[in-house]
Chains A and B, each alone.
Chain A
Amino acid sequence: MFGYYLDLALRSLRRNAVLTALMVLAIAVGIGASMTTLTVMQLLSGDPLPGQSTRLYYPQLDPETGADVRREPPPLLDYISAQDLWRSGKADRQTMIIDGGIKVQPQAGQSPFIANTVGTTSDFFPMFRVPFRYGSAWSAADEAGAARQVVISEALNQRLFGGADSVGRRIVLNGSSVQVVGVLDHWRPRPRFYLLAGARHSGGNTSYFFGPPHDVYLPIRTALDINAGNFGWYTCWAKPEPKNLPQAPCESVALWVELDTPARVADYRRYLQGYDAQQRAMGRLTHPANVAMMSLPEWLAYQNVVPGDVKLQTWLAFGFLLVCLLNTVGLLLAKFLRRGGEIGVRRALGATRGSIFLQCLTESGVIGMLGGILGLALTLLGLWLVRQQPVEYADIVALNVPMFLLTVALAIVAALLAGVVPAMRASRIPPALQLKTL
Chain B
Amino acid sequence: MQIQPILAALRRHRLAVFLIAMEIAMACAILCNALFLVFNRVDMMRINSGVDESRLVVVSLQGVDETQAGDLVARLRAGFGGLAGVESVAVANAAPFTQRAGEIGFRLLADDMHYNQQGHFYVAGPNFASTLGLTLASGRWFTPDEYGPIGEFLPRTPSVMVDAAYAGELWPGQDPLGKQVYSDKEAYRVIGTYTSLMRPDPSPGARHNTLLLAGLPGRHLSDVYVLRTTPEQAQRVWKQARALVARMAPTVVVDLPHSGPMSDLRRAYFAADRAMAGLLIGVIGLLLGITALGIAGLASFWVQQRRRQIGVRRALGASRRDILRYFQTENFLIVSGGIVVGMTLAFGLNLALMRVYELPRLPWSYLPAGAVALWLLGQLAVLGPALRAAAVPPVVATRSV
Contacts and interface: CB of A to CB of B under 8 A. Distances in A.
Interface string B193-231: 000000000011100000000000000000000000000
B251 interface: yes
B137 interface: no
Nearest to A319: B30
A112 interface: yes
Interface stretch (A122-130, A282-290, A307-315): A307-315
B293 A33 contact: no
B287 interface: yes
B152 A242 contact: yes
Contacts of B272: 205, 207, 309, 389-391
A319 B345 CA distance: 11
Contacts of A207: 272
Interface string A294-315: 0000000000000011011101
B253 A33 contact: no
B294 interface: yes
B69 to A, nearest CB: 12
B113 to A, nearest CB: 4
Contacts of B63: 103, 112, 114, 174
Nearest to B183: A239
Contact size class for B? 35 or more
Contacts of B19: 326, 329-330, 333
Interface in A220-277: 229, 238-239, 241-242
Interface in A378-397: 385, 389-391
A26 interface: yes
A327 B62 contact: no
Given A312-B37, A320-B287, A114 B30 contact: no
B291 interface: yes
B205 A203 contact: yes
B290 interface: yes
B312 interface: no
B298 A320 contact: no
A75 interface: no
Interface string B294-309: 1001100110110000
A204 B276 CA distance: 13
Given A67-B113, A103-B253, A239-B153, A330 B275 contact: no
B23 A320 contact: no
Contact of A111 (B30, B205, B253, B304): B253
A390 B275 contact: yes
B62 A330 contact: no
Interface of A: 19, 22, 25-26, 29-30, 33, 66-68, 101, 103, 105, 111-114, 174-175, 203-205, 207, 229, 238-239, 241-242, 308-309, 311-313, 315-317, 319-320, 322-324, 326-327, 329-331, 333-335, 338, 385, 389-391, 421, 425, 437-438
14 contacts: A33-B283, A114-B255, A203-B358, A312-B357, A319-B29, A319-B349, A320-B287, A327-B290, A327-B294, A331-B297, A334-B16, A334-B297, A390-B271, A438-B401
What are the nearest 10 A-B pairs in CB distance?
Answer: A327-B294, A67-B113, A103-B63, A390-B271, A334-B301, A326-B23, A330-B19, A239-B184, A323-B26, A389-B275
Given A103-B62, A174-B63, A389-B272, 10 more contacts: A22-B294, A22-B297, A29-B290, A33-B283, A203-B205, A311-B356, A327-B290, A330-B294, A330-B297, A331-B301
